Amino acid sequence: MIKKVSVNTIQKIKNNGEKFSVLTAYDYSTAKYLDEAGIDIILIGDSLAMVALGYDTTHSVGVDEMSIFTKAVARGVNRAMVVTDMPFMSYNIDIESALINVCNMVKYGANAVKIEGCSDYILNVIKRCVESGVPVMGHLGFTPQFLNTIGGYNIQGKSFDATLNILDQAKELEKAGVFSIVLEMVPEESAQYITENLTVPTISCGAGRYCTGQVMVSDDMLGKFSEFKPKFARKYGDMKSLILNCAKQFDYDVKHGFYPADDEVFKLAEDELKQLKMHSM
Ligand code: KIV
């Protein structure tokens, strides 16, 4: 029997000084292959707004879209922990609607949710989720849902004071009950200091080598999303070229009569064919 990755597995990995992997997925087959490959956490990130739906920022997706993608991903996964990103304003209005939205994601197949930020209100939402049995992954540093108040895609924690500020926030998240914290676009030394002063594991999203986990948007890893490439993304494949080449070959074959071939079509039985030919005479 496959042993499902849980919050305990993730904590043990940190305690043993090991590392874990996190990739985003938005559809059934990608999730299935990432799971088969041994990825520990599969995140239905709200990055899907940009890489799968073509919006300019993550603000444009809501709970309806995240629900559809969560269900698809959850159906493909056996071993990995499935984490759904709570989209913009799905947890910010009041605790009651936040809990309804969070619990629905669990009903759709998420094993945990990710929530950005660390205000008193957010800490309360996190506490209530954990009390209700929903593990929460925190998200500090650059938090894309706060893009407009941050004022741009800016590196966070660039000074001693800013690093301590993120550490204070991380400790508050830890007290509220998060099982891990994503640190996005934070200098490596700051992320290392924060990681070493926390009990829960941190997950680097452009925060260097010393976090316990590393997360990447799979469309960046696969070379599928080509509008821009963050400094910290590594392209392991060239899916854009693969898709372009396959589509061009298909187009050529269709237009030159090479597709479909004889073994790609259904055939009438001999006697039916005979009748058809007689009929057309
Ligand atoms: O939306 C997302 O994919 C994320 C990760 C990159 C951390 O939040």
DSSP H or E run through 115: strand 112-116
Residue ID of nearest Cα to ligand 1 atom 5 = 45
Q: Provide the pLDDT confidence category of residue 268 given band limits of 50, 70 and 90.
A: very high
The alpha-carbon radius of gyration of the chain (Å, integer) is 23
Mean pLDDT of 199-226: 97
Ligand 1 center–CA 47 separation, angstroms: 6
Ligand 1 center–CA 131 separation, angstroms: 25
Token pair for residue 64? 């309806």
Q: Provide the pLDDT confidence category of residue 60 given band limits of 50, 70 and 90.
A: very high
Contacts of 48 (CB under 8 A, 6+ apart): 24, 26, 61, 65, 69
Per-residue pLDDT reduced to its tens digit, 131-189? 999 999 999 999 999 999 999 999 999 999 999 999 999 999 999 999 999 999 999 99
CA distances from 210 to 18, 167, 196 (A): 11, 15, 9
Mean pLDDT of 88-103: 97
Give the pLDDT confidence score for residue 228 in this predicted structure.
Answer: 86
Give the pLDDT confidence score for residue 116 in this predicted structure.
Answer: 98
Mean pLDDT of the chain: 97
Atom of ligand 1 nearest to the CA of 58: 1
Nearest in space to 39 (alpha carbons), one of 77, 89, 71: 77
What domains are defined for the chain?
A: 7-237 (3.20.20.60), 242-280 (no CATH)
Per-residue pLDDT reduced to its tens digit, 8-27? 999 999 999 999 999 999 99
Mean pLDDT of 255-265: 98
117 touches 143 (CB < 8 A)? yes
Count of other CB atoms within 10 angstroms of residue 42? 30
